[in-house]
Structure 1
Amino acid sequence: MRLRRGLAIAGVAGGGAVTTLLVGLVTNAVSNESRWPGWLGWLQEHAWFSFVVLGVTMAGLTALLAGLSEARPSTTPGRSEDGAGPPGAAQVLRSLPRDTAAFTDRVGELERLMGSVRASQERGEGLPVHVIDGMPGVGKTTFAVHAGHLLSERFPDGQLFVNLNGYTPGRTPVQAGEALASLLAAAGVPTQQIPVGDDVGAVTEARAAMWRSRLAGKKALLILDNASSYRQLEPLLPGGSGCLVLVTSRRRLVASEEVVMSVEALPPDHAVDLFVRLSGRPADGLDRGVADELVRLCGCLPLGVSLLAARLRHHPSWTAEDLRGRLMVARDRLGELRAGERAVTATFDLSYRDLAPERQRFFRQLGFFPGTDLDSHVGAALGEVPALVARRHLEALYDDHLIDEQPGSRYRLHDLLRDYARGLAVEGDSMGDHVQAVQRVCTYYLAALADANGHIVRSGAAVPPAPDGASRVETPAMESRVGALSWLEAERANILASVRQANGLALYDLVVRLAAAMAPFLRQAGPWDQAVGLHRTAAEAARHTGDQRARGDALAELGVVRRFMAAYPQAIEALNDAVTAYEAVDERRGKADALNQLGIVWYLTADNEDASRAQAEALSLYRELDYRLGQANALADLGMTHRQMSRFDAAVEAQSEALTIYRELGDRYGEANSLRDLGVVHCLMGAYEVAARHHREAFDIYLELDDREHQAYALNELGVVRRLTGDTEGARTAHSQALTHFTELGDRFGRANSIRHLGVVERAAGDATEAIRLLEEALDVYRELGSRGGEATSLSELGVARGIVGGLDGAVEAFQSGLRILRDLGDRCGEAEVLNHWGMLLLNSGEPRAARRHFDQALTLARDTRCPLEEARALEGIGRCEWTVDGPGHGVGSLRAAVTVYRRLGVSAAVDDIEQLLV
């Protein structure tokens, strides 16, 4: 693309140089009849030289222009490349909108479309994309939806409808990546699994690949409504041959694999038939000639015909002649418009002026709605009326054909009618009315979000407050977490559109508050790139207002989401900036929260000293503030860091105190998390029965909370205990279940953990080759995510597996690399494990004296850290080295000491091996 742009610019500039040269030569020839003055005379005498210089100059400019073209980054219209602008989302319906009574005729077009589909399916060919184009108001969407209903039985795997907002007034066209995210979610893909990132192009390609994979082998129907360009819709096209795609657009979108179908205005006789049917009048009671004139006056467009018929139906005393006279008056009022615009706009004007004054005002306000579809509660906020009154207005406007009905008692304006409504509204105090309407909508969403967050935010956590006057705002009933999440998903696109609108109108306080109110939902529901864009926008809005605390809140949320995306450097940067913002206004609670999150990121990257320091500082601030939930969170995270540094007693102490506080607060999530980490510590300390009990208790709570992510983490930990106690099959089952959860949820770090654990299980089961494959896969992911702890653990196990298959050099290299990382991290228990593995490799390779040195080091480390499993392994290794060097019967004391520890741990397989040797 960039090369083509550069070549195009070069061609234009080069052509300009040649043209200039030719014009100059002609001018010079003509001017020979007179002498040019001054230095121009020298140019006249040396014309060829001067124009060569000009040509070279133009060529230089050409090269510069081309270079600039190559260097200029490609951007998506309406959105910055780095995603810094307000986020967007597409509104997707999981089923087709309702068919309309306004549909008439189109027999030829329908036969052509259905015949094309039948022929392709019967021949087993891939279904071509069918593009339905035509002028506004001609009925493209109505035609596509009607055809979709007729064809739906041929596509049993689902029907999806998405409005791409190609020509929606007040809305930027939906970008392909945004549409793909919404389509994937509508198709059942967990939002955490949807690819995210800062490279818009790469993310769009990844989502498109997932979308094609999702629909592979399926027979589904997809309607892409209101497309602005082929570039916008191309990534949305399924790759499989069994899916039908119908596209509607005002433009002619051309591609070789498409079937283009133009929908024209209705033939006059068909338009008259539609008019008669919708007017509710008997055909013999209408003057056919007048009806014919009426439909011609509105261009025979179905939208205009429907509006005219509705007028006649609602005025039983009117005749068709009365309606014609009123329409002519309306056309005269719109005389400044082009003829094509007058044809349909006059029908809008006639319908609008027939409304009662209060309904006229309500209709005008609908033109200011930032979103796509709305319910009676949003209508109430826009129109400043009770929800019951708004519902009546919406139903009446639908009855008048001025709005369309959507599933779920929702409504939307046709693009032409939205434009008309906005035009009416701006005739008065345009900016003032617009700003106030957006303020009312945003205030409504803030009030509704406060209700929703009451169901989805953890017990004891801060909930973004409701706006002033929230008690006067009518919000929908949300009686459960499921209801709240359902409402949030339905309104996601509209809320994000409201943020865009508010940001564009410099309503920065509303931007900040809406972003904070949406944060809990986007944290758990994603896609996280939407959250990144939202919180970046909020941070910039807070900068405009000078509110450092709000800026800190937005940056802290940005850091949390970046952590979820495993973008750890960006998370650290955002959280450090948040700490700085909080310190500027002495906001200690915010600073503590940001430090707590920084500690988590450093824990995940195994920067244990920084993690410990951040959590200790956060804990101190929480205690000063007497904020119990914060204390519990900091203690729990500090306990995890102590455990990672092999400080097991400190880990148990911190985690037990956190567990007590969580139980006092009734925080089930916190309780389960602390139980799970206590299980990990007890497992490292060899208390396998206690560890298993903690993991089962944690899993049961996660099950109760329907938290599949943490269920997966508990399953992995339970699998480790099962493997260490000899239950290989039970371990494989637990890790496999965890892997399934993590894969479906899109958690790459958790998935890498499951793969690593399965690699260890395969090695223990005797399949070292499969173990190597799995461990190398996990290692690649850990390195990509920057997880040094995961990298070190994988290298340790990889060394063992490589040694089994005879790859001694590769095994030693893995042990050396893993040991370096573990020493940097201060993980002495992990270091002891690697030394034991390395020692056993040396012993089996005929180097018992070198092996003995490794076992001695491992024994010291294991006893210092109270890591009994590694202590037993070191004792066993020392005994076997003595047995090998000094002969049978030597090293018995070390071997029997190892048996004692193994028995206490319940590791019966190791006990059997040693006793067999001793016998």
Structure 2
Amino acid sequence: MLVGLVTNAVSESEWPGWLGWLQRHGWFSFALLGGAMVGLAVLLAALSESGAPERRAAPTPQPEEGAVPPGAALVLRSLPRDTTAFTDRTAELEALVRSVRNSQESGEALPVHVIDGMPGVGKTTFAVHAGHVLSERFPDGQLFVNLNGHTTGRTPVQATEALASLLAATGVPAQRIPVGDDLGAVTEARAAMWRSQLANKKALLILDNASSYRQLEPLLPGGSDCLVLVTSRKRLAAYEEVVLPVEALPAEHAVDLFVRLSGRSAESLDRAVLGQLVELCGYLPLGVSLLAARLRHRPSWSAEDLRARLVTAGDRLGELRAGERAVAATFSLSYQDLTPERQHFFRCLGLYPGTELDAFSGAALGSVSVAAAREGLDTLYDAHLIEEHPGSRFRLHDLLRDYARGLADEGGSMTPVHAVQRVCSYYLAALAVANRHIARNGASTPNSPDGAAQVETPPIDSRTAALGWLEDERANVLACIRRANDLALHELVIHMAAAMAPFLRQAGPWDQAVGLHRTAAEAARHTGDRRALANALAELGVVRRFMAAYPEAIEALNEAVTEYEAVGEKRGKADALNQVGIVWYMTADNDASAQAQTEALALYREVGDRLGQANALADLGMVRRQTSRFDTAVAAQTEALAIYRELGDQYGEANSLRDLGIVHCLLGEYQLAGQRHREAFDIYQELDDRVHQAYALNELGVVRRLTGDPTGAREAHTQALEYFTELGERFGRTNSVRHLGVLDRTDGNVTEAIRLLDDALGSYRDLGSRGGEAAALGELGAARGVAGERDGAVELFRRSLDILRELGDRCGEAEVLNHWGTLLHSSGDWAVARGLFEQALGLARDIRCPLEEARALEGIGRCDWTARERARGEGALREARDVYRRLGIGGAADGVERLIASQAE
């Protein structure tokens, strides 16, 4: 018809019927028929496409790794259903939403968000839930792609196939999807088309179960407004990525998830039992959901029944199963991706007794070099089979540890005994290096077995490095010792305990040390090694002394003395005697202490042990000081200090300096006393010994109080109290409390002083410290006297004096007599008071204790003035004033001066 209309111009004949109308209106008819033709052509094309068989998107490409052909990607045009197994991930979800919101509001391109975590932790569940939460921000569509990176029986989807599926899912006709024999060219063409499809759109894409960054890189949209969430069992390195770590659930969230999935009411379930169940699941969402499913499908079971079954089965992974789903299966997928060498390394790590490991302990376990171990740990980390912690340290999740241990048991390549022997040999070698930096000069260090020297050890080149390494490895070493003991490896237990003893002496916690040395003692009894038994008992006694468990310390040390005598070990016997002498000193049995130290000193001189001689002399000097024999105390301590400096033993030097400072303080030489205490504190600080730092602070606080600096004194005692409390050092803590009580009394805060001194008194009695008890009784009496409780105060003074006289502490006796005299004078009984001051004056002058001499003279002068013996009283007061001035106690001297002036008026 169109042709006819065109030729109508040269035709002379007329068309018949209705065709004539078309002929008469040629141009209008031409346009009308042309439009109809175009419409029919479009309709026919559409009908042809819908009826034709589907074409293949591309020829079957070869797999990237040359394995079996891949399958097509499963692409969902919308997100999967949001599962009920999702539990509270508030922090992770807020981090993701915040990242997306910040990018959208600033106009920046949305980065790729990689959801990171171990198998079974719920990465896909989190990604789907996050997609639902964020869906409104991406109105142009939400796509979910399962890339089969780690799916049983499936080969990972190639990027080419995934792109074909994505393009088809977004409406691209199959015949328009690029095809060809050049796999690289086809992939690039499809990726370009995919980026074009998403240009200027806001879409959400979840790439689940990716195997590598190579697999997912072509799938990333080119536009800046699309959000990509990636999950993978491996750690992927994407450009401009944001990593969202998804870890095991908090305990309370895991319990809530279990309750929700169990089909039981919360009231019918024991919360404590549920806590144990989710702990046994390792707080993994997958494990929790599988265990809850078992309870849901067995109505006759209680939560306790399930817990008992899980505990008694001895195979947590076997019990964490529901139908065909199991936690072990998720681990197996990641394990199977490893090379045989890495699989062997992973199995070895399953037998590690500790909690955290590094490349050195990993090398020992795997019998490989440290470099190879470091590569193995990095590979396992990338596969999410191990977690990394600060300091290049790694940890297996509890369930992964069970899985690795099960594989090791099945393979039989290494037994638990072999594993413990290997790792203990490493630790013994490393401990030997560390002990060379922390042991005192001249002190013997434990010998390591021959095999321990054949392993690589970390670079420990200073005391600071040694202490840092020991602190990091403390829990691991103790765990290895416990495991060795379980396996009856008694020799290893003995060697490991001895190697850890120097560090535990200094750093504690001492309850751990007690358990360790008890274990070593039992191991020595099993082997019949009496020398090892004596060593363990001696260390146990030392730690018990640190804990102020004095009866237990004496028992252990006396038994150690007996064992050393049986094997003829003179140096060991001397060490034990020296330590038991210190305990006797702490409990104020001065005669027993002096005898023990004298015997120890003789043995040390016999065997030529210079460090031992210095220790015995220093401790003997402390006994002499406690019995107010200040001259002999200074002589013994000065000789000890010279030997310590000769040996370069800073620890001993600091101890002698501190005790000399105490003696100088009692002698009224406050400037020298403060100098000695500061010197001691500086050395303790350099040695990082906070226990003895605290002791030095207490003594420095006393000097500051006596020289009129109550603020500085309170700061020193408070800091000491914090250290002692943190370290669990009860005796030192009690001293700090007593000193603070004295400060409160002198500051006029009598109520708080009484409370603190009562606390100190009870603690000293609990500790069995007679000297401390006497000091607290005297100070408490003074405080109660200020509070107006005369009768109670007098009784406290009497009890204090009884103990002090029994101990031979004449300086302490003079102090209490002065307190008592002050109380009686203030209450009007000045005649009796004067007799007490005279007794104190005689004691103070006899032992050369000038502070108590001045206090006694002041008391006598006040009593005489009250009795109107003005001349005699003024003489005593002026003498007291002069002594105060000589001591540098300006406040007391000024007070006496004002009293003399007032009476003269």
- TM-score, with structure 2 as normaliser: 0.64
Alignment match, 2:587: 605
Q: Aligned AA for 1:113?
A: D
Alignment match, 2:22: none
Alignment match, 1:381: 364
Alignment match, 1:836: 818
Alignment match, 2:88: 113
Q: 1:105 to 1:411 in 2, by over 3 A?
A: farther
Q: Distance in 1 between matches of 2:254 and 2:554?
A: 39
Contact 1:228 1:251 in 2 (8 A): no
Please give the residue correspondences for 1:495-894 in structure 2 after superposition, counting only pairs within 5 Å: 495-885=477-867, 887-894=869-876
Cα shift at 1:117: 11
Q: Distance in 2 between matches of 1:356 and 1:573?
A: 57
Q: Aligned AA for 2:621?
A: G
Contact 1:225 1:248 in 2 (8 A): no
Cα shift at 1:449: 1.4
Alignment match, 1:309: none
The alignment status of 1:139 with 2:137, answered yes or no, reads no
Structure 1 gaps, min length 5: 1-103, 120-136, 151-220, 231-244, 267-334
Contact 1:226 1:247 in 2 (8 A): no
1:370 counterpart SS class: coil
Contact 1:228 1:250 in 2 (8 A): no
Q: 1:416 to 1:673 in 2, by over 3 A?
A: closer
Alignment match, 1:251: 277
Q: CA RMSD in A?
A: 4.1
Q: Distance in 1 between matches of 2:276 and 2:868?
A: 90
Contact 2:321 2:327 in 1 (8 A): no
> Percent identity among equivalent residues?
66
Q: Distance in 2 between matches of 1:260 and 1:437?
A: 31
Higher relative contact order (CA 8 A, sep 6+): 1
Q: Distance in 1 between matches of 2:419 and 2:554?
A: 39
The counterpart of 1:469, out of the listed 451, 473, 479, is 451
Farther off after superposition, 579-588 or 708-717:
708-717
Alignment match, 1:330: none
Contact 2:254 2:278 in 1 (8 A): no
Q: Which has the larger radius of gyration?
A: 2
Q: Distance in 2 between matches of 1:352 and 1:776?
A: 63
1:459 counterpart SS class: coil
Q: Aligned AA for 1:376?
A: A
Deviations 1:531-564, CA, capped at 9 Å, x for gaps: 1111110000011111111111111111122222
Cα shift at 1:138: 7.2
Q: Aligned AA for 1:139?
A: G
Farther off after superposition, 710-719 or 504-513:
710-719
Please give the residue correspondences for 1:194-273 in structure 2 after superposition, counting only pairs within 5 Å: 251=277, 264=289
Q: 1:489 to 1:223 in 2, by over 3 A?
A: farther
Cα shift at 1:515: 0.9
Q: Distance in 2 between matches of 1:350 and 1:769?
A: 69
Q: Distance in 1 between matches of 2:328 and 2:679?
A: 67
Q: 1:340 to 1:537 in 2, by over 3 A?
A: farther
Alignment match, 1:391: 374
Q: 1:455 to 1:435 in 2, by over 3 A?
A: same
Deviations 1:731-776, CA, capped at 9 Å, x for gaps: 3343334334434444332232223223223333334333323322
Contact 2:121 2:284 in 1 (8 A): no
Cα shift at 1:497: 2.0
1:537 counterpart SS class: helix
Q: Aligned AA for 1:387?
A: V
Q: Distance in 1 between matches of 2:705 and 2:84?
A: 65
Contact 1:222 1:246 in 2 (8 A): no
Cα shift at 1:726: 3.1
Alignment match, 1:304: none
Q: Distance in 1 between matches of 2:290 and 2:555?
A: 57
Please give the residue correspondences for 1:160-175 in structure 2 after superposition, counting only pairs within 5 Å: none
1:618 counterpart SS class: helix
Q: Distance in 1 between matches of 2:381 and 2:750?
A: 68
The alignment status of 1:366 with 2:349, answered yes or no, reads yes
Contact 2:120 2:285 in 1 (8 A): no
Q: Aligned AA for 1:523?
A: R
Q: Aligned AA for 1:647?
A: R
Contact 1:139 1:263 in 2 (8 A): no
Alignment match, 2:429: 447
Q: Distance in 1 between matches of 2:130 and 2:828?
A: 76
Deviations 1:605-624, CA, capped at 9 Å, x for gaps: 22221222122222221111
Deviations 1:178-224, CA, capped at 9 Å, x for gaps: xxxxxxxxxxxxxxxxxxxxxxxxxxxxxxxxxxxxxxxxxxx9966
Alignment match, 2:189: none
Please give the residue correspondences for 1:244-323 in structure 2 after superposition, counting only pairs within 5 Å: 251=277, 264=289
Deviations 1:685-711, CA, capped at 9 Å, x for gaps: 122222222223223333444444333
Q: 1:265 to 1:624 in 2, by over 3 A?
A: same
Deviations 1:808-860, CA, capped at 9 Å, x for gaps: 10110110111111112110111111112212222332323322332232222
Alignment match, 2:193: none
Q: Aligned AA for 1:656?
A: T
Q: Distance in 2 between matches of 1:259 and 1:401?
A: 14
Cα shift at 1:421: 4.7
Q: Aligned AA for 2:495?
A: R
Q: 1:413 to 1:843 in 2, by over 3 A?
A: closer
Cα shift at 1:778: 2.2
Contact 1:478 1:484 in 2 (8 A): yes
Cα shift at 1:349: 7.7
Cα shift at 1:496: 1.9
Contact 1:227 1:249 in 2 (8 A): no
- TM-score, with structure 1 as normaliser: 0.63
Contact 2:364 2:426 in 1 (8 A): yes
Q: Aligned AA for 2:357?
A: L
Q: Distance in 1 between matches of 2:251 and 2:433?
A: 33
Task: Tell me the matched-pair count.
Answer: 642
Alignment match, 1:485: 467
Alignment match, 1:301: none
Deviations 1:631-675, CA, capped at 9 Å, x for gaps: 222211111111111110111011111111111122222222211
Cα shift at 1:107: 5.1
Contact 2:509 2:727 in 1 (8 A): no
Deviations 1:775-826, CA, capped at 9 Å, x for gaps: 2232222222222212211211222222222211011011011111111211
Q: 1:599 to 1:374 in 2, by over 3 A?
A: same
Q: Distance in 2 between matches of 1:798 and 1:549?
A: 47
Alignment match, 2:145: none
1:469 counterpart SS class: helix
Contact 1:109 1:261 in 2 (8 A): no
Q: Distance in 2 between matches of 1:251 and 1:521?
A: 37
